[in-house]
Amino acid sequence: MVPFAWLVGAFETWLVKLGITTLPLMLQVVLDCLGIILIALAISLYQRVNWMLHPVDDLMQIIRFKYFKGNATLAQLVVFSPPIVAILISVLVTHQIYAINIGTLFALLFQGTLVGFFDKYAFPKLKHQKLDEKL
């Protein structure tokens, strides 16, 4: 398996070469949100396939079914709570916000909801499996 950071770095280099940073800002925002939607789709699929999960996505799945009766939105908010708290503390201390963009807010607000949506509508015959072994 390719380390995730290398993959992200290679993808970023490819996007820069394609000229994504020269696109109009609104188009960049739309593409960013589309990327987050596709990530939610990927999370939905590989959680249901249950093969080599990213630790944060595995944590979200465990919390989701153990504490929130399958509610992906609530589980994702709980998993995202440490960075949200860090952002709030940073803002309180510095009175400034750094690197919190529209895509970040979109992910914080909607990624869990999107995962739940894709669980229902993207390959609905795929079901979460072997959850009892983790819980």
Residue extents of the structural domains in the chain? 4-134
* pTM attached to this predicted model: 0.81
Model confidence at 135: pLDDT above 70: no
Residue 116 and residue 38 in contact, taking contact as beta carbons nearer than 8 Å: no
In the chain, % of residues over pLDDT 70: 93
Q: What is the pLDDT of residues 64-73, one digit of tens each?
A: 989 999 899 9
Report how far residue 9's alpha carbon sits from residue 105's, in angstroms, rounded to the nearest whole number.
22
Q: In the prediction, which pLDDT does 55 show?
A: 77
CB atoms within 10 A of CB 62: 16
Q: Tens digits of per-residue pLDDT, 8-39?
A: 889 889 989 999 989 999 999 999 999 999 99
Amino acid at the residue 11: F
**CA–CA distance, 122 with 103 (Å, rounded to integer):** 23
